[in-house]
A = this chain, B = another copy of it.
């Protein structure tokens, strides 16, 4: 089993180091190989997703990804900016199924901006389609507006689209995830306005016939954004497209107030996957040794479960993380009075010890 390690920029290298430390502390050893990505890829090879990095990711059984982006790359042209590496990896590896849990650990309930009774015990899973939609649809660009009241002016344009097979495969991922949880699936669309999402809804209903044990409902995206704020615990699994999923999964993560705790998985059709924390590269605190490595460590646990078929090892890591929280250890982002503030490496060491 070979793991590609792509630390990236900002706090990426520090937090990935801790996850590697935890993986190395397991009985079974995995082959790991690192490569630069994002700004680091651009600095080393003139491109955010260098050829060698992509080849390594393709050859590996799973990819552990830190975070990308740093101030010095902000003014590069779009095709060279760090985040293009993420889009390139998703597309080239066919990582269409993004799993983003939003879980609020009881010990961290105070970190949320929402009232404890609204979020305590929150445990929802957002399944976001990751390789289709308006993210990749063609044609797109800037052109002369061909008709209507603005004819002759410049206009920016993009194409939203979902093919039947794309919707079916993400539907199966979502229904199967719901089967393993509370057996409720909410498909989020904008079928009242968009043809793409009326079609999405029709296919979801069709696929639901294969999963009679899962209760499917449908919600417009604007209402979903409201219900996440009003009563987030009413959701079990949410499935939606790439664009709506981008917005809703970040909103859901922020409900917990502890985005430094949230892992993610992006899977292809054979459960090969890329694993990364839900938070960003936080260049403002990079190199200070204070970043929270737990989201990355929990991403490594997801990797063991989904791509490496080592569910017991994943369980061990997740238990160890719960244990360090119970011990009162906190990085700065989740620190509260009465707990013990630790740095990035100390937190990693504590997880290793708790294993």
Interface residues of A (CB under 8 A from B): 78, 81, 83, 87, 113-115, 118, 134-135, 137, 140-142, 145, 148-150, 153-166, 190-200, 221-223, 225-226, 228-231, 243-244, 246-251, 253-255, 257, 259
Determine if B166 and A162 form an interchain contact, defined as CB atoms under 8 angstroms apart.
no
Determine if A154 and B163 form an interchain contact, defined as CB atoms under 8 angstroms apart.
yes
Shortest A53–chain B CB gap in Å is 20
Complex Cα–Cα for A102 and B223 (A): 16
Complex Cα–Cα for A155 and B166 (A): 9
Which 10 A-B pairs give the minimum distances between C-beta atoms? A156-B199, A150-B163, A157-B161, A156-B196, A155-B163, A225-B251, A226-B254, A222-B250, A229-B254, A158-B160
16 more A-B residue pairs beyond the given contacts A150-B163, A153-B163, A153-B164, with a C-beta to C-beta distance below 8 A: A78-B191, A78-B192, A83-B192, A113-B118, A134-B193, A142-B195, A155-B162, A155-B163, A156-B161, A156-B194, A157-B159, A157-B160, A190-B243, A222-B247, A223-B250, A229-B251
Determine if A200 and B156 form an interchain contact, defined as CB atoms under 8 angstroms apart.
yes
Complex Cα–Cα for A192 and B115 (A): 33
Complex Cα–Cα for A133 and B113 (A): 32
Q: How many copies does the complex hold?
A: 2
Determine if A225 and B196 form an interchain contact, defined as CB atoms under 8 angstroms apart.
no
Residue of B nearest to A221 (CB): B247
Determine if B198 and A226 form an interchain contact, defined as CB atoms under 8 angstroms apart.
no
Task: List residues of chain B with CB within 8 A of the CB of A157.
Answer: 137, 159-162, 195-196
Task: List residues of chain B with CB within 8 A of the CB of A190.
Answer: 243, 246
Residue of B nearest to A155 (CB): B163
Task: List residues of chain B with CB within 8 A of the CB of A148.
Answer: 163
Determine if A230 and B254 form an interchain contact, defined as CB atoms under 8 angstroms apart.
yes
Task: List residues of chain B with CB within 8 A of the CB of A81.
Answer: 192
Task: List residues of chain B with CB within 8 A of the CB of A229.
Answer: 113-114, 229, 251, 254-255
Q: Which of A156, A164, A222 has the most CB of B within 10 A?
A: A156
Residue of B nearest to A227 (CB): B254
Task: List residues of chain B with CB within 8 A of the CB of A257.
Answer: 230
Determine if A194 and B158 form an interchain contact, defined as CB atoms under 8 angstroms apart.
yes
Residue of B nearest to A168 (CB): B153
